[in-house]
Chains A and B, each alone.
Chain A
């Protein structure tokens, strides 16, 4: 019989163990203890975050399935629902990046098709240490290869994503994957088991010893210190699962066909904690009990112990409940798709999970105790009194000119083109992709009714580290701005809260402030949270990661043909700045390059003003008034302009006149107004291009600041202030025409911009 020491080794506290004994009416046996330790882990029970998550907005007119199911879903019109969710696979990827990332994709896809939706897109959100670090590059290469291997092989396009390199992720990388699926609204499937006497069928891959203890050993504890050159915690490698995308592809097609034929009562994927978690959750949601027999589970290794069968995290498995009369048909379909299918148990009215090994009862637990009665903890937030993160290394002198600064920013790992990554992903399979990566701020996927979905994933962890509330608001607004540039209105949001150890006061503070910001921003945008995931204990010996609430947002636009583009599309088009934009260098990419410390706080954001700007841009894109639209994000106005030029393969003549300086320059006391206007960051600003007519129409609705003309083969930015406090010339002379003698703030050939922007290719050479 196991004792307290065994419980502690499995991650339970003394108090939790005593509570388990009370629920069981005596000490649990080894199998029962293993199951409790997994379901009461942070990963499964959300015991440090559940109280906070309850404060989030989760309902709205578009919500079809809210949090608590395998994924959330929103109504996208035409009788269809879009299921979507983001999930993390951080610790497995830190231990073995290829399989960690690959199985992360596999897991999120199963969440989508468990709901009955055909997966139509994957996006990924990746964080590593600085690009100069050999370990960061090893992890990046492994993770990208893993995502490519798995996503491409199952025939689901990878249409977007994001990537940051920051030192706090050095020993604890983040691998978050998001997937979207489509289903007829009435065909969405739930995971609640129902109908005592109904049969449990396990189908998919055989069960092996891989991934045992993944949810508790890996996902709910801090990683140890790196113990090899690559920093992998080698002894934890056996806890990482191994993926087989061909098995997943068959499993997906089989599941969808089973659902389409109406053969299933409920369906659930096997993820963290394997059979333990899926059977218990199905029973809990249905208010029923489940009896299952581990001797009927097909095994890869014949001598597995019952507890190993119950906690194995072998990939590519699903559990379904079917009526006895349908069993033969279900198994026949499994055979057609060449996936194993076995009856392993039945639904009961006992409200207990009973595990048998043949005739022997090897475990017997109340469902409620396992799933719903894990103690929840209040956080003890404590605002940090000193900096939590080291200053970044200096890469650029403060005295650098505008030209050098822009090129350095474009070359920097956080802003360089992601082409080297996304070229490794199939972005077009399923023939739905209207906007591929780098064509628009959001990925755009055609819907059968002629409309389209737009989807974006984002989070700038450095800004969240500087100010967890404001940084999180900014991340949500950034997603919505991306959607607006594509012409889409948000329908719903998913999130993955990646944080350090919540038992520490400063992390608890980051987490609670961040969730407060998440709720406020989602409420303001009317984009409720329909599902998500929490990944805590992301820290190692060197300290916590940046707090990283990754936001995924799905929106709809009525006409796929009108989807926005980010690149300048036509020479002689007029360029304008619209929106509510007050750029600041605080926590900007430029500050990072300069090696500056994170500020303790960011300027407040006027959420309604940003929202109003998004609506104007969205409507203008939908009406076809704009030829391009791009939101100003990391690297500020100058980087946004460069991106518009590069995406359109055309230059631009930009002139910042008095009206622009007056309208958007931040504090009048700023010591470096040029750097602030060119490279300062804040939500709510957009660079658009249009005909003169288009801009006139737009100007009737909002403030439009004309800043130049598309054309040529270089990006030229001039300072046209009358009062040449900056580097500019007298306005009269400059406005005299192209012959102006005034030196521009910067003038860079497109080829130089492109060379700098391609810097990331070296990481994959």
Chain B
């Protein structure tokens, strides 16, 4: 089982994601300018500011050579996890529905949050129990999840709303407290909070984020192989 972690020139959390993924499998960085995904079984698009994000967050990254391969990989059913900026990139690439807007409080905000697992029957959350509360930090300026009402309804019906902010935790003003969503096929998942920053008690305040990576490892065996 090998994770490939994309690295853009403005990525910030790619080494954190690499370390977190290494706790459950092999992991390797993939340079943004190269198309070769080097045989990765699952892809992580990490947090940061991909190409500076002076335009819309993720708007340029979706056109990178590596992302072109990731889009093909996802269309073929490969597992793709987008964290924070990665979530923004996946939305820009239309691999996930909706968009991320500027936080309701209009400021970069870093907080340890409680998240509710809405759908524990996905490739990314199967190690969690339904309605489990996860303690995972978030840190971003553009995290307000938005989608058209009809889309939201369809997503809800199809179980695409995977994580919600627990009551009182939705600082960014996301619609319906949505913190993480998957695509209809269930192989692409994006979330604004950072599970890779909740994998060790010493530096992470919790290890709940590991559940996401463990779920992916388990899923790779059953889906991709």
Q: Which A residues fall within an 8 A CB radius of B?
A: 145, 148-149, 152-155, 244-247, 249-250, 253, 336-338, 422-434, 436, 446, 560-561, 764
Chosen A-B contacts, 28 in total, with CB atoms closer than 8 Å, are A152-B139, A153-B12, A246-B9, A246-B52, A246-B54, A250-B9, A338-B9, A424-B107, A424-B109, A424-B110, A426-B110, A426-B139, A428-B137, A428-B194, A428-B197, A429-B13, A429-B197, A430-B15, A431-B15, A431-B16, A431-B19, A431-B197, A431-B200, A431-B204, A433-B203, A434-B202, A446-B203, A560-B202
Which residues of B from 1 to 19 have beta carbons under 8 Å from A?
9-13, 15-16, 19
Complex Cα–Cα for A431 and B15 (A): 9
Is there a chain A Cβ closer than 8 Å to B73's Cβ?
no
Q: Contact: B197 with A148, CB < 8 Å? A: no
**A436 to chain B: which residues have CB within 8 Å?**
205
Q: Contact: A155 with B12, CB < 8 Å? A: yes
With A148-B108, A246-B52, A426-B139: A432-B9 Cβ-Cβ less than 8 Å = no
Q: State the Cβ distance, A113 to closest chain B Cβ, in Å.
A: 15
Is there a chain A Cβ closer than 8 Å to B143's Cβ?
no
Is there a chain A Cβ closer than 8 Å to B146's Cβ?
no
Complex Cα–Cα for A645 and B88 (A): 39
Q: Contact: B109 with A423, CB < 8 Å? A: yes
Is there a chain A Cβ closer than 8 Å to B48's Cβ?
yes
Q: Contact: B111 with A154, CB < 8 Å? A: no
Closest to A765 in B: B105
Q: State the Cβ distance, B70 to closest chain A Cβ, in Å.
A: 20
With A155-B48, A427-B110, A428-B139: A337-B9 Cβ-Cβ less than 8 Å = yes
Q: State the Cβ distance, B112 to closest chain A Cβ, in Å.
A: 8
Complex Cα–Cα for A542 and B203 (A): 46
**A148 to chain B: which residues have CB within 8 Å?**
107-108
Contact with A along B25-53 (1 / 0, CB 8 A): 00000000100000000000001110111
Which residues of B from 59 to 82 have beta carbons under 8 Å from A?
none
**B196 to chain A: which residues have CB within 8 Å?**
431
Q: Which B residues fall within an 8 A CB radius of A?
A: 9-13, 15-16, 19, 33, 47-49, 51-54, 107-111, 137, 139, 194, 196-197, 200, 202-205
Closest to B47 in A: A429
Complex Cα–Cα for A118 and B145 (A): 34
With A154-B12, A155-B13: A423-B197 Cβ-Cβ less than 8 Å = no
Q: Contact: B202 with A425, CB < 8 Å? A: no
Closest to A338 in B: B9
Q: State the Cβ distance, A243 to closest chain B Cβ, in Å.
A: 12
Q: Contact: B49 with A423, CB < 8 Å? A: no
Q: State the Cβ distance, A760 to closest chain B Cβ, in Å.
A: 14
Complex Cα–Cα for A148 and B103 (A): 15
**A152 to chain B: which residues have CB within 8 Å?**
12, 108, 139
**A429 to chain B: which residues have CB within 8 Å?**
12-13, 16, 47, 139, 197
**B109 to chain A: which residues have CB within 8 Å?**
423-424
Complex Cα–Cα for A245 and B52 (A): 8
Q: Contact: B10 with A432, CB < 8 Å? A: no
What 8 A-B pairs have minimum CB-CB distances, sorted nearest first? A246-B52, A155-B12, A431-B16, A426-B139, A148-B108, A250-B9, A153-B49, A246-B10
Complex Cα–Cα for A155 and B52 (A): 12
Q: Contact: A432 with B110, CB < 8 Å? A: no
Of the listed residues A148, A336, A428, A561, the one surrounded by the most CB atoms of chain B closer than 10 A to its CB is: A428
Q: Which of B13, B48, B107, B204 contacts A764 (CB 8 A)?
A: B107
Of the listed residues B12, B108, B110, the one surrounded by the most CB atoms of chain A closer than 10 A to its CB is: B110
Known A428-B137, A429-B13; further 13 A-B contacts with Cβ < 8 A: A152-B12, A155-B11, A155-B48, A246-B51, A423-B110, A426-B108, A426-B110, A429-B12, A429-B139, A431-B204, A433-B203, A446-B202, A560-B202
Q: State the Cβ distance, A733 to closest chain B Cβ, in Å.
A: 44
**B54 to chain A: which residues have CB within 8 Å?**
246
Complex Cα–Cα for A435 and B196 (A): 17
**A432 to chain B: which residues have CB within 8 Å?**
203
**A434 to chain B: which residues have CB within 8 Å?**
202-203
Complex Cα–Cα for A587 and B91 (A): 56
Q: Contact: B49 with A246, CB < 8 Å? A: yes
Complex Cα–Cα for A561 and B16 (A): 20
Closest to A141 in B: B107
**B9 to chain A: which residues have CB within 8 Å?**
246, 249-250, 253, 337-338
Complex Cα–Cα for A391 and B79 (A): 65
Complex Cα–Cα for A625 and B25 (A): 38
Q: Contact: A561 with B15, CB < 8 Å? A: no
Closest to B201 in A: A561
Complex Cα–Cα for A264 and B140 (A): 36
**B15 to chain A: which residues have CB within 8 Å?**
430-431
Of the listed residues B11, B12, B52, B54, the one surrounded by the most CB atoms of chain A closer than 10 A to its CB is: B12
**B16 to chain A: which residues have CB within 8 Å?**
429-431
With A246-B49, A446-B202, A560-B202: A428-B110 Cβ-Cβ less than 8 Å = yes
**A245 to chain B: which residues have CB within 8 Å?**
49, 52
**A244 to chain B: which residues have CB within 8 Å?**
52
Q: Which of A145, A153, A336 contacts B10 (CB 8 A)?
A: A153
**B202 to chain A: which residues have CB within 8 Å?**
434, 446, 560-561
Complex Cα–Cα for A218 and B5 (A): 44
Complex Cα–Cα for A432 and B197 (A): 10
**A155 to chain B: which residues have CB within 8 Å?**
11-13, 48
Closest to A563 in B: B202
Complex Cα–Cα for A436 and B48 (A): 20
Closest to B105 in A: A764
